[in-house]
Structure formats: C-alpha cells, structure tokens
C-alpha cells in the first residue's frame, strides 16, 4: 500500500510499504477513504517530537472495514467507520472512567496510545491506504452513508479535530451565556470556538496573527483578534468594556474579561512581539489576565515533557513560567490534557447527521495522498490558506 513516511525533520516520502495484517482476533483492517493532516502532525514533521524515521504518520482516518478478526462483533466488512486518534481498549481503569486518551493497555508502561505518534506505541499512522485497528469493537464508530457523500468531510474530523475542539470546551466548562477567548485559529482553535457556540456561548473571541485564519474565524461568526496589531488582552478588554457599558451591568465594571479561556496552541506558540520566535508562556499569561475571578481555562494545545528544539531553557525541559499568583488570586479552575475522543465522537456524529453541526467548514484543501509532502510544506509555512488538509488515497 501507499503511505506517508517520516524520514527526517521536514522530509516526508510517499512510498509503498507492506499492507497491515490482522495481528489479534480483536483487530480490524479499514480501507481509508479520507485522512486529515493535524497541527500535531506538524510537530512531528518539524522533528519536535523526536525523529521516528520510517514511521507512517497521521491519526485522523475515515474509511470502510475491509476485514475483522474472529472476536470482533460490533463491526463487519463494508461498515463505514472512523476511529479515535487515541487507541482505547474499552476495559482498563482509564477507559472505563471515560479517559480513553490515557488507555493503560495499548502502550504498556505508559498512559495513552495513538496512531503514527512518537512515544505512543508502535502503531502505524493513518495517512495510508489501509489501517490496522486494535480492539476494533471499542474503537470503531459506525457511520451512516457511503464514501464520498455529503458527510465525508465532516466525518473525517470525528477522529480527532472535532472531539479535540469539543474537549477544550469541556475542560473550560463552557456553558450558556459564557464569554470565551480562544488563542489559536488553527483547526482545533476554530473547532473549539465552534463547540463553544454549540454549547451556548454568547461571545467568542479568536486570537491569531495569520490573516487567512482570522478571516475564517470572522466568517464563522467569531470576533477575530490579530495579536500583531496590538496586545490581544487589551483588544478584548476594550470590546468587553463597550459591550458592558450600559446600566444593565452596573456594579460589574471589574468584570470586563471573559468567563472562559482556551489555549489551542501549546508548546510552539509564537512570540507576540516577535512572531519569528517561539514564546509559549505568553499565552497562559494573557489568559490569566483575561479570565474573570472564578473563571475557567481549558488547555488543549499540545505540551511535551522534553523539547531540545525550544528556544528557552525552561521550555527545553517541558516547563513554563506560569503566573500562579494571578491564577490563584482569581480562583481560576484549569483543565488540561489529551482529548478523550471516544467519549465524544458518538454524540458529535449525531449532531452532524441531524444537521446541527457542520465542522467541515474549516477544511481548506483536498489533495491526493501522493501530494502529502507538498501539503505539509505549505501547511507548515501557514501560507496559501492551508488551514485543514484532507488527503484522499487513490
């Protein structure tokens, strides 16, 4: 089969590799019809999560079951399915408690396994023609329709991007009437903002410096904030002051921030004053200033425990200078961590099928699997409107 293979930082190849096979009676093989490129794939592409030479990458598949093991009962050949990025067993202590992103069975000695992801088990990625799915009964989410139909682009986002955006709002406990500031207008940030609206948020601000991403945020009905034109904290506070200046909010002059904040960028956040360099600590600092007393933060952007490529000494050891004093004084609740995709993907599927959600609005490009190396180059450069790319095997 053809697959996208990591060779060196910023060097991918599309080559023929051996087809996967059923290894256990609980496995399934799926033939991929669409596979998306994630922002986390860029961390791998840039060599910031190790150098897994020879690894097939990608973790956002949609396809059709081709073969199942003798102990698989929930799916059969011909079923249309997606699978969560984080591979779950369905029966360990983490999975039973709904924390499938921290499954204890699929990556022994660690909490969490994933497709095509360094350090999260020896599992081939999904940017390929075929994918082996362990514990198929627990992982395969059955879907209606047929490949290439009106739901194709929506369903491919159920593997990771849409549940991740929703997870961010779960971490921040977004509810009806909340005001939300999302830092990062990549796919996850936009889908976090989208999920916030689905949950009833009244005002949603999206912070970035890439014009095409900010345009998309505005197109989706959010308030775009360009951090290169000025301090995003002050920009949002000024908008909030104007909004809350009438007598209806008398006595609430101190509450000009937001009730919820989301970091959808993570460890490679660009410096606000010099975007040519990285400075991830400024995002949490800005959120600490913005959020109300008693507010909530959701940290969904990826952080790693070791990053030799970081510019700062703290960051190289996976640490940040966090304004704990401000956060403590305000009594802010912080939620963070990997998305537990399997917890959400069924209910999000139903929102798509009933027409209440259309996450595919963020998809910018459809390309063949053979075009993956060029797609990564454009996506990594944040140019030509590359926001969310879907690869289609031949």
Counting the structural domains of the chain, the total is 2
Query: 103 and 209 share a domain?
Result: no
Query: 21 and 50 share a domain?
Result: yes
Query: 355 and 319 share a domain?
Result: no
Residue where one domain finishes, among candidates 299, 321, 336: 336
Write out the residue range of the structural domain in which residue 264 sits: 165-336
Q: Is the pLDDT of residue 206 over 90?
A: yes
DSSP label of 128 = B
Place of tokens 């991830």: 280
Query: 304 and 363 share a domain?
Result: no
Query: In this predicted structure, what is the pLDDT of residue 323?
Result: 94
Instruction: Please say whether the beta carbons of 259 and 291 come within 8 A.
Output: yes
Q: Is the pLDDT of residue 74 over 80?
A: yes
Q: Is the pLDDT of residue 84 over 80?
A: yes
| Top-confidence residue, 315 or 106 | 106
pLDDT classification of 204: cutoffs 50, 70, 90: very high
The CATH number for 235's domain is: 3.40.50.720
| Mean pLDDT estimate for the chain | 94
Q: Is the pLDDT of residue 255 over 90?
A: no
Q: Could you report the per-residue pLDDT of 98-130, keeping only the tens digit for each?
A: 999 999 999 998 999 999 999 899 999 999 999
Residue where one domain finishes, among candidates 295, 315, 336: 336
Q: Could you report the per-residue pLDDT of 162-192, keeping only the tens digit for each?
A: 999 999 999 999 999 999 999 999 999 999 9
Q: Is the pLDDT of residue 328 over 90?
A: yes
Q: Could you report the per-residue pLDDT of 131-142, keeping only the tens digit for each?
A: 999 999 999 999
Q: How far is CA 70 from CA 19, 26, 75, 91, 100, in A?
A: 19, 7, 11, 19, 24
Instruction: Please say whether the beta carbons of 305 and 318 come within 8 A.
Output: yes
**How much is the average pLDDT of 248-258?**
76
Q: How far is CA 143 from CA 63, 326, 350, 366, in A?
A: 10, 46, 9, 21
Query: In this predicted structure, what is the pLDDT of residue 124?
Result: 95
Residue 350's H or E segment, with its range, is: helix 341-353
Q: How far is CA 150 from CA 177, 355, 362, in A?
A: 32, 11, 15
Query: 235 and 291 share a domain?
Result: yes
Query: 283 and 178 share a domain?
Result: yes
Query: In this predicted structure, what is the pLDDT of residue 51?
Result: 86
Query: In this predicted structure, what is the pLDDT of residue 12?
Result: 96
Query: In this predicted structure, what is the pLDDT of residue 292?
Result: 94
Query: In this predicted structure, what is the pLDDT of residue 131?
Result: 98
Query: 330 and 360 share a domain?
Result: no
Q: What residues have CB less than 8 Å from 336, skipping those under 6 apart?
A: 171, 297, 298, 299, 300
Query: 114 and 50 share a domain?
Result: yes
Query: In this predicted structure, what is the pLDDT of residue 307?
Result: 79
Q: Is the pLDDT of residue 278 over 90?
A: no
pLDDT classification of 279: cutoffs 50, 70, 90: confident
Query: In this predicted structure, what is the pLDDT of residue 133?
Result: 98
Residue where one domain finishes, among candidates 295, 316, 336: 336
For the CA atoms of 9, 11, 16, 17, what is the dihedral angle to 10 degrees? 0
């Amino acid at each position: 089969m053809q697959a996208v293979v990591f060779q060196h930082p910023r060097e991918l190849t599309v080559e023929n590799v051996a087809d996967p096979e059923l290894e256990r009676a609980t496995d399934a093989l799926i033939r991929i019809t669409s596979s998306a490129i994630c922002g986390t794939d860029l961390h791998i592409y840039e060599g910031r999560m190790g150098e897994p030479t020879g690894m097939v990458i990608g973790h956002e598949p949609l396809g059709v079951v081709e073969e199942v093991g003798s102990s698989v009962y929930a799916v059969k050949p011909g079923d249309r399915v997606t699978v969560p990025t984080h591979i779950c067993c369905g029966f360990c202590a983490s999975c039973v408690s709904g924390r499938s992103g921290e499954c204890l069975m699929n990556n022994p000695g660690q909490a969490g396994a994933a497709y095509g992801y360094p350090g999260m088990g020896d599992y081939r990625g999904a940017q390929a023609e075929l994918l082996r799915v362990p514990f198929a009964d627990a992982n395969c989410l059955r879907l209606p329709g047929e490949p290439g139909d009106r739901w194709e682009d929506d369903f491919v986002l159920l593997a990771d991007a849409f549940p991740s955006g929703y997870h961010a709002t779960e971490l921040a406990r977004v509810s009806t009437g909340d005001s939300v500031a999302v830092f990062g207008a990549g796919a996850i940030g936009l889908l976090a903002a989208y999920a916030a609206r689905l949950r009833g948020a009244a005002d949603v601000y999206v912070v970035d410096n890439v014009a095409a991403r900010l345009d998309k945020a505005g197109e989706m009905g959010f308030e775009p904030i360009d951090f290169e034109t000025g301090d995003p904290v002050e920009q949002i506070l000024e908008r909030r002051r104007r909004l809350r200046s009438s007598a209806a909010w008398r006595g609430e002059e101190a509450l000009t921030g937001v009730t919820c904040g989301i970091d959808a960028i993570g460890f490679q956040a660009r410096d606000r004053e010099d975007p040519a360099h990285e400075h991830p600590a400024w995002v949490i600092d800005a959120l600490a200033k913005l959020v109300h007393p008693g507010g909530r933060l959701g940290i969904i952007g990826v952080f790693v425990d070791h990053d030799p490529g970081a510019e700062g000494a703290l960051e190289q050891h996976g640490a940040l200078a966090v304004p704990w004093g401000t956060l403590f004084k305000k009594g802010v609740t912080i939620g963070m961590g990997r998305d537990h995709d399997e917890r959400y993907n069924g209910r999000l599927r139903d929102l798509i099928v009933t027409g209440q959600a259309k996450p595919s609005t963020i998809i910018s490009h459809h390309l063949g699997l053979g075009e993956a190396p060029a797609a990564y180059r454009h996506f990594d450069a944040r140019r030509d409107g590359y926001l969310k790319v879907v690869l289609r095997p031949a």
